Structure 1
Amino acid sequence: MTLPDRTTAGKVVGVVMAAGLSRRLGRPKQLVVLAGQALIWHSARAMLDAEPSGGVLVVTPPGELGQQIRAALQGLDVMFAENPRPELGISESFRAAIAALPAGTGAANFALGDMPLVSGAMQRAVLDAYTATDAPLVLARFGSQNTGLGNTDWVRAPPHLFRADLFPEFSQRGDHGPRHVIAAHAGQTVWVDLPASALRDLDTVEDILAMQREFAGWGRE
């Protein structure tokens, strides 16, 4: 774990979850190259562009893969936390992130490292909703009339922001997030609507090829 000295009392830390083992893909998706940079670079860059007041924390796996991810992010102003048991599922990454947050952190905005189409502006929308409301939960939902999902067929997916007083409730195990926390505080949730096109991640070779074509078409750097 590497944490620079920061004053973060009451501030929001952006957390990028990048400790997955990419079982479906068969190779580390964090290091897949899009427009000359690793996928995790694009996800971390988007969170940095949102300018969370407490900085950005990237959760990595242990060992060589963790070192490769850190190397791919060289030059970016991010903190690191290590999930020592990524094989136990993403729940362990949540715990590793919370344990690594600087004392006094007011909230954390959790994003997945394999959703490179979630832009800095989208992350910023989640942060702004929290600033405006101080809600214990700010959740993103993806959908659009133009994608076939329809007006009400939303898909809930990160980024998800949790206020710090909810962290003690993160008791989940296995390969899922704190769904019980979301259910318990559903009545206090503030929603941020994001386009369905940003929901795509990379689980197959076909996903990678399509994303590489899209990034090349945009001329992303």
Structure 2
Amino acid sequence: MDNQVWGIILAAGFSRRMGEPKLLLPYKGKSLIRHTLDECLKSHLDGMIVVVNPKIKNLVEESQIEGVNEVILNDFSNEGMSTSVKLGLQSLPDSVQAAVFLLGDQPLMTSREVNQIIKDYHRQPNCSIIQAKYEDGMGHPVLFKRNMFPHLLKISGDEGGKSVISKFKEHVYYSEMDKQVIPDIDTQEDYKLLIDGE
């Protein structure tokens, strides 16, 4: 099938600020990463790739669930997020015309946000980037069309797609989410707020 849209879940960080592997922490009966994966599986994505840090015990197994097309081991996680972005892109089949980037540490993200991005991608054929716009700022998910892939493959260090979004502002469509920005769970304080909000 042509014009496929796949998700790339970035889950290869070291959880340095958390002090323990955050993606395996429990929330509502399952790990943080499983919340992200399950919502992606409920969405209209045509396929999914998860990029993980092989040094984090049990993360590979936790990500290898039915519906995930491939789990990529990033042996260069210490060189920054750009390595995960590139590995994800390089693993996509040729039939994929757009990639939606998602973060493994956003358990409050739902299939609704993913589907809104995909819907706006189909509605805005002249835009090469679709970024989620929340009431209090920009965030994930972010979609890049295939014509943006070469630019993403040039990023380095710990930058994600921000530099590409800045460079091609006129090609960005902001997808209105009508809610507060979805938080990353980076620290013990973030996790406590998440648990307290259950």
Q: Is the TM-score greater than 0.5? A: yes
State, as a whole percentage, how many aligned pairs show the same letter: 28
- TM-superposed deviation, 1:70: 2.6
**Partners in 1 of 2:83 and 2:113 — Cα distance?**
25
Select the structure of larger CA radius of gyration: 1
- Say which SS state the counterpart of residue 99 (structure 2) adopts: strand
Relative to structure 1, is the Cα distance of residues 210 and 76 closer, same or farther in structure 2, using a 3 angstrom cutoff? farther
The correspondence for 1:138, drawn from 130, 140, 144, is 130
Show the counterpart of 1:169.
151
Distance in 1 separating the partners of 2:124 and 2:16: 38
SS class of match (1:199) = coil
Give runs of aligned pairs for residues 26-45 of structure 1, distance below 5 A: 26-45=19-38
Is 1:114 the counterpart of 2:105? The answer is yes
Residue of structure 1 aligned with 2:95, choices 96, 104, 111: 104
2:61 to 61, 65, 71: 71
Q: Which amino acid aligns with 2:85?
A: F
| Distance in 2 of aligned mates of 1:72 and 1:197 | 28
Q: Contact 1:138/1:191 (CA < 8 Å) preserved in 2?
A: yes
> Counterparts of 1:180 and 1:75 in 2: how far apart (Å)?
32
SS of the aligned residue for 1:169 comes to helix
2:7 touches 2:100 (CA, 8 Å); kept in 1?
yes
* Counterpart Cα distance in 2 of 1:201 and 1:178: 16
Query: Number of paired residues?
Result: 195
Task: State the shift of 1:74 in Å.
Answer: 4.5
Find the partner of 1:95 among 77, 86, 96: 86
Give secondary structure in 2 for the equivalent of 1:117: coil
Deviation of 1:123 (Å) = 0.9
Residue 111 (structure 2) pairs with residue 84 (structure 1): no
Answer 1 or 2: which has greater strand percent: 2
SS of equivalent to 1:26: coil
CA distance in structure 1 between the partners assigned to 2:66 and 2:194 by the alignment = 23
User: Which amino acid letter does the alignment assign opposite residue 184 of structure 1?
Assistant: K
Please say if residues 45 and 76 of structure 1, whose CA atoms lie closer than 8 Å, have aligned partners that are also in contact. Answer: no
Structure-2-length-normalised TM-score: 0.91
Distance in 1 (CA, whole Å) between partners of 2:45 and 2:22 is: 25
Whether the 8 Å contact between 2:137 and 2:181 is mirrored in structure 1 is no
Ranges in structure 2 where 5+ consecutive residues have no aligned partner: none
Instruction: State TM-score, norm by structure 1.
Output: 0.82
8 A contact 1:30–1:113 mirrored in 2: yes
CA contact (8 A) 2:100 2:143 kept: yes
Query: Does the CA-based 8 Å contact 1:130-1:138 persist in structure 2?
Result: yes
**Counterpart check, 1:187 vs 2:170:** yes
Name stretches of at least 5 consecutive residues in structure 1 with no aligned partner: 1-6, 144-153, 216-221
Instruction: Describe the superposition over 1:67-122 as per-residue Cα deviations: whole angstroms up to 9, x where unpaired.
Output: 61232235431021222211111111100101111123100000111111111111
Q: Which amino acid aligns with 2:160?
A: G
